Chains A and B, each alone.
Chain A
Amino acid sequence: MTQLFDQFYNFVGTDINHFPIFAIVTLFLGAFIIAIVGKLNKTLRNVIVFIVTIIPFLLMLSLIKPIMIDGGVINYWMGNWAPVGEWAIGIGLEVDALSLFFGLIVTLAVFIVAIYSFTYMNRDSSLENYYTLFLMLSGALLGLVLTGDLFNIFVMIEIMTMTEVALTAFRVDYDGALEGAMKYMVVGSLGSSTVLVGIAMLYSQLHTLNLAQIAASLPSHQNAVTAAAFAFLFIGFASKAFLFPFHPLEADVNAVAPASISMIISGVITKCGVYAIIRICYILFQNIELPAVSISVTLLGAVSCFICVTMAFNQHNFRRLLAYHSISQIGYVIMAVGLGSMFGLEAGLFHAVNHTLFKGLLFLTAGAVQYATGSADLDKLGGLVKKMPQTCALFLIGAASISGLPPFNGFASKWMIYQSVFEKASETGNFVYVIVVVVCLLCSVLTLASFIKVAQSVFFGQLNPEFNKPEVHEVPVVMQIPMWILAGLCVLFGVFPNFIQKYFLTPAATAAFNVTNYIDTMLGQGTAAKAGIQQTEIGTVSSIGCWQPVSWLWLLLIITCAVCLIAVLGSNDNKKHATALNAEEKVSDLVGVKQSGAGRLNNVAADASLKGVASDHLLSDQELIIISRDRTIEDEVLAGEDPKYENFFSGEKSEFSQVGGSDLFWGFKHDMRHYFNFQKDWHSGNVNDYTTYGVAAIAVTLVLAILFL
């Protein structure tokens, strides 16, 4: 096997330098070919899409050995316009381990989405436009992570924005599709303008656009203008990663785009924003070591994480909920990236790739549910486990991953993030990091809670009679293959984190810190030393961060066995006891008739045991009748228009949540209603407001940057 690899690399030789541009151009050429022949034949179109998406993936895979393992950097000057003297006149592609890491994420996701789309999109019209736009989007994403030129990043971001808007609005008949696209267009153009302004300001000071050269000359040219440029660039890329003030957009876009595009948006486009933030903080400006930048970025991550996870709690649309969780997880990534330590960056990168896997899986299952039933409303769905058992299993794998349950990948990366924040807190003794850890843990718990809610309201519980039809069945196998691939990767990454860390994370994180190597490869040996950039100390990763998955697995198995054993042995007593407890609660709550929504589900079961409890409590039959009557009144209230139950919000007005009934966490939400009402005011769904937040974010970042840099 290794011989085969050696033969391959010997055969390729230095032509391996052409691989990145081949990967980018293949996607774009595919888009053109689809635009020409896509209308003619469906099979031909699918074959072309399959080929042009698998080729970049294979090319990226073949780059792993020279870049990740041997530690090389590919530099490639377009048109052979190599640097003259110290000035880089052409556009260069610059593929180091960090770029390749994100390139692998992009190509893998694109390949999986392409397979998924073949069946998922077959009910839509004008599919040649869909595939053209999709391939252009993927080409732009790949070009963004592989390029080494600042203005080229802007061009790729613009292609990305344009195609993303068009794809979001692709199902024009779908409610809200146009609206989501319009909002993203407006706020996205705000972000693009700031990126452009930042580029212009950097160019006015440094007279170049090449990333390596900017990195070489920035430390000696620090002034107010470069600080402002940093602020503009940062907020521009943050808007592409949908960080804190931009988070409502992601929900709007993801709720209405086709599910395949949702996976690309939440799985890859946000990652490209993260990539650009890592690039400018670690390599371009090298200011992540400064406490001001580090603390601000970490806090930004923590705030995004917390706000989005609480927002997700209220959602009644499956995909909006997933979208908010997506930003919450990106908040984790940014939090870890902002630490500025080697281990923190590794943790962030690991969580980034894991997020692509499990969030992609969840979005694809949501798409499958929508494909089968035609609805993504959590209040309408229910009991689908009988109809779609495989999708349910896949969803459970994804939910376990995202909530950080042990044998899956989410646990591994979250563990690393906690560990790195602990380390940073103990190193610096800064109180902020302690708060961040607490927020982290809280968010993880809330994530688990809301996924329990989703599982309960989509796959378990009562089957909605509307969906009890033969048409509602398991999705076709072509849609299942990509989901199983993702699920398998979730488990693999969770069980072998040390392998991933050794071959992928450590090279990528080292590349982000190894600025001198980056500059020297592009502009010739010694450039960095001449510019006065020292080799930064690359910290060693302490082994405490690496957990032992096998022992955790054993522990989990033992616990599971114990639970099962107890459940089997004491099932009868247990059940009776539980329902009795439930009934007891109800009786004790009799005075202030306040019944939890979850309890209502158990009414039928509780009725049987109610008499028993009542006799325990020495209640007369009359009082029992009162209880039952109260309950019926309450049922009517719940079904009716009691403003008390309209505290919470989500989605469209027509789908306003009648909280109660199926919501597991109604009591918790009711206690938190002031906070949620406050959030309701600010997440108004008005594009003007979202623009205002964007402008405010720009202003805050500018002021902070000029004060502290």
Chain B
Amino acid sequence: MNSKSSKNLILIISLIAILACGVSAAIKMANSAPTYDGTGTDVVGLYDDPSTYDNSGADGVASVMVNENNDKTAADNVVYSVVFNYRGYDTLGESFILIGAIAGTMAILRRDKRRGSRKIVYYRKPADNSKASGAVGMEAVGDNDLSTNQYKRKPVIVRCSVSFLMPLAIVYGWYIVIHGAMSPGGGFQGGVLAAGTVLLVYLAYGLTGVRKAFNPSLLHVTETLSEMTYVFVGLLGIFGAMNFCFNFVLSGSEETAMIMNDAVGYHVMAGICCLLIIMLEALGTDEVLPDNGSDNITEKRKAVAQ
């Protein structure tokens, strides 16, 4: 038996074993008690009078968190307070991952100067930047007919609707960020939605528009600054003779978690904008497709798809 078929055999046997073990564990897990059995908790009572809670019958960390939520934090959304209060340190780590991913993507996709200067040739140079051309529709990727894949001006209806939608997208994203404390949402989800503006600009005005509208290095710096704000808010707890990430402002609906939430919201928005711009720049650093290149594209695509 050669090594290739034995490798396949090993793979199939292992996958079956993993599935079998997984299913047996799943049956066991489905029969065990839920991680948080909240049937005994009076949530209405907790909401009306936050200080009346009883932790003696707790059956998990979640039980304690729900009981203490209204008393010790200012948020109505328990997930929000878990993310920013009880486990704020994890959220910090999560943001570090985003910064790491951006720095890593920048490092991987960088073009050194000695490898030849970057040449960007546009098919048709825009006479006026406000009517910038050079847009490539996203849908062109899935489109078989590449004769449409010319750098031509986007229809006016797209540009108009994007100008209409863009403020809406930003406002909606920030609405979700700021209302995270009382409705589903929070820094991360809203930040991603607000970062969609880059794509809107790209759809309507192409890479030129994106370059005009956004400054990636500024975005990177400000996102790092917002992350430092998070860390400093955490460190303030230490200087208040308490521990890291301590919630030292707590009155009514105000708490440090709000600052952290906004910092994470801005951080995620700027970070994902930055990520998208880096990827789009990688797309645009090349020369425009030659016209005669469209013949062998279909073959090439067949080769790309396995």
Contact = CB atoms under 8 A, between A and B. Distances in A.
B2 to A, nearest CB: 8
B280 interface: no
B112 A91 contact: no
Contacts of B247: 79
Interface string B20-36: 01101100110010011
B96 A703 contact: no
A169 B58 CA distance: 48
Contact of A29 (B87, B97, B231, B238): B231
A308 interface: no
A28 interface: yes
A165 B104 contact: yes
B55 A76 contact: no
A699 B225 CA distance: 45
B89 A173 contact: no
B24 A36 contact: no
Interface in A119-163: 125-126, 129-130, 132-133, 136, 139-140, 143, 149, 151-152, 155-156, 158-159, 162-163
A654 interface: no
Contact of B17 (A152, A689, A702): A702
Contact of A79 (B88, B99, B107, B221): B88
A133 B107 contact: yes
A181 B65 CA distance: 41
A205 interface: yes
A87 B103 contact: no
B265 to A, nearest CB: 18
B60 A87 contact: yes
Interface string B210-239: 000000000011001101100100110110
Given A79-B88, A91-B87, A156-B93, A224 B104 contact: no
A228 interface: yes
Contacts of B208: none
A447 B210 CA distance: 57
Contact of A36 (B90, B101, B115, B224): B224
A237 to B, nearest CB: 18
A625 interface: no
A485 B194 CA distance: 50
B106 interface: yes
A166 B68 contact: no
Interface in A20-45: 21, 25, 28-29, 31-32, 35-36
B242 interface: yes
A166 B103 contact: yes
Contact of B99 (A31, A76, A80): A31
B62 A79 contact: no
B89 A91 contact: yes
Interface string A581-609: 00000000000000000000000000000
A5 interface: no
A84 B89 CA distance: 19
A7 interface: no
B25 A85 contact: no
B29 A201 contact: yes
B32 A132 contact: no
Contacts of A79: 85-86, 88-89, 237, 242-247
Contacts of B119: none
B125 interface: no
A166 B107 contact: yes
Given A136-B96, A140-B96, A201-B25, 7 more contacts: A32-B231, A80-B246, A89-B65, A152-B93, A155-B90, A684-B3, A700-B14
Shortest 10 CB-CB contacts between residues of A and residues of B? A166-B104, A207-B60, A699-B14, A155-B93, A699-B17, A79-B245, A129-B107, A681-B3, A696-B14, A702-B21
27 contacts: A32-B231, A76-B243, A80-B243, A84-B58, A85-B58, A89-B65, A129-B110, A132-B100, A140-B93, A151-B87, A151-B90, A152-B90, A159-B96, A163-B104, A181-B108, A205-B29, A207-B35, A207-B59, A208-B60, A223-B28, A225-B28, A695-B11, A698-B14, A699-B14, A699-B15, A699-B21, A703-B17
Interface of B: 3, 7, 10-11, 13-15, 17-18, 21-22, 24-25, 28-29, 32, 35-36, 55-56, 58-65, 68, 85-90, 93-94, 96-97, 99-101, 103-108, 110, 112-113, 115, 220-221, 224-225, 227-228, 231, 234-235, 237-238, 242-247
